[in-house]
């Protein structure tokens, strides 16, 4: 079933259509959230909340304005950025313990199957929020530059500047890593 038909059915309260939508777009949304937040728990929460909002706000989706995946990424992006900012505020205030899931975005939390890529994940974790978002959306999420610019509320030129700086910083960090 085409995405537009699916979201129309979701807007009419069809739970089965929402399940199909969750299975089709959920994994990509979780990947995106994970790459921003670097926490499986927070990424799962963002993916779930994105789909819940899609369920509630499906009637607002305009297929003439954007692809469904762009719209969903926009919702996930807003949620993830809110979490990152909240986490930064709390870290500044010293309110979080190291075990709190909201501290997970620090490079130390990247464990397990990604240990081999630690230099890379450390470097990505060290990027500023907007640089990391631009890189993740453009490089990993199969979105084109106009879609990424729309999600981030930027011009394409501004997006390209972020990408250039993100890749330069990554390259330097990888060169400096042992």
Partner 1 sequence: MKRSQFVPSISEARAIEILDAYGADPRKWPEPERAPLETLLATSPALQAIRQRAADLDASLDQWQPETRLDTDALLAALPTRADHNDHWMARFLDRLFEPAFGWQQITAAIVPLTIGLAWGLSTTAPPDDWSEVELSLLNLPVEVLSDD
How far apart are CB 94 and partner 1 at their closest, in Å?
Answer: 29
Long-range contacts of 144-147 (CB under 8 A, 24+ apart): 147/66, 147/67, 147/70, 147/73
The distance of closest approach from Cβ of residue 140 to partner 1 in the complex, given in angstroms and rounded to an integer, is 8
Q: Which stretches of 94-143 are DSSP H helices?
A: 118-125, 129-135
Task: Convert 98-109 to b/e letters by CB count within 10 Å (16 or more is b).
Answer: eeebbbbbeeeb
Residue among 85 and 171 whose Cβ is closer to partner 1: 171
CA angle, residues 70, 72, 74, in degrees to nearest 5: 70
Q: Please choose, out of 6-14, 71-79, 82-90, 94-102, the segment that lies near partner 1 by the rule CB under 8 A.
A: 6-14
* Greatest pairwise CA separation for the chain in angstroms: 55
Q: How would DSSP label each residue in 47-96?
A: HHHHHHHHHHHGGG--TTT--HHHHHHHHHHHHHHHHHHHHHHHHHHT--
Among 58, 75, 83, 104, binds partner 1 (CB under 8 A): 58
User: How far apart are CB 72 and partner 1 at their closest, in Å?
Assistant: 13
Q: 55 vs 81, which CB is nearer to partner 1?
A: 55
Q: Does position 116 bind partner 1 by CB under 8 A?
A: yes
Decide if residue 5 touches partner 1 (CB under 8 A).
no
- Residues near partner 1 (CB under 8 A): 11-13, 15, 18-19, 22-23, 26-27, 30-31, 34-35, 40, 43-44, 47-48, 51-52, 55-59, 113-114, 116-117, 120-121, 124, 138-140, 144-145, 156, 160, 163-164, 167-168, 170-171, 174
């Amino acid at each position: 079933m085409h995405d537009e038909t699916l979201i129309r059915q979701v807007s009419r309260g069809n739970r089965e259509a929402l399940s199909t939508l969750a299975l089709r777009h959920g994994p990509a949304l979780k990947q995106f959230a994970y790459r921003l937040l670097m926490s499986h728990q927070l990424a799962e929460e963002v993916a779930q909340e994105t789909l819940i909002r899609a369920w509630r706000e499906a009637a607002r989706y305009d297929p003439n304005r954007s692809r469904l995946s762009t719209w969903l990424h926009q919702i996930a992006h807003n949620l993830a950025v809110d979490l990152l900012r909240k986490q930064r505020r709390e870290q500044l205030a010293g309110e979080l313990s190291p075990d709190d899931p909201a501290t997970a975005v620090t490079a130390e939390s990247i464990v397990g199957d990604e240990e081999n890529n630690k230099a890379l994940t450390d470097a990505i974790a060290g990027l500023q929020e907007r640089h990391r978002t631009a890189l993740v959306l453009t490089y990993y999420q199969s979105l084109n530059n106009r879609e990424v610019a729309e999600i981030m509320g930027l011009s394409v030129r501004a997006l390209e500047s972020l990408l250039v700086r993100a890749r330069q910083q990554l390259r330097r960090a990888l060169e400096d890593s042992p």
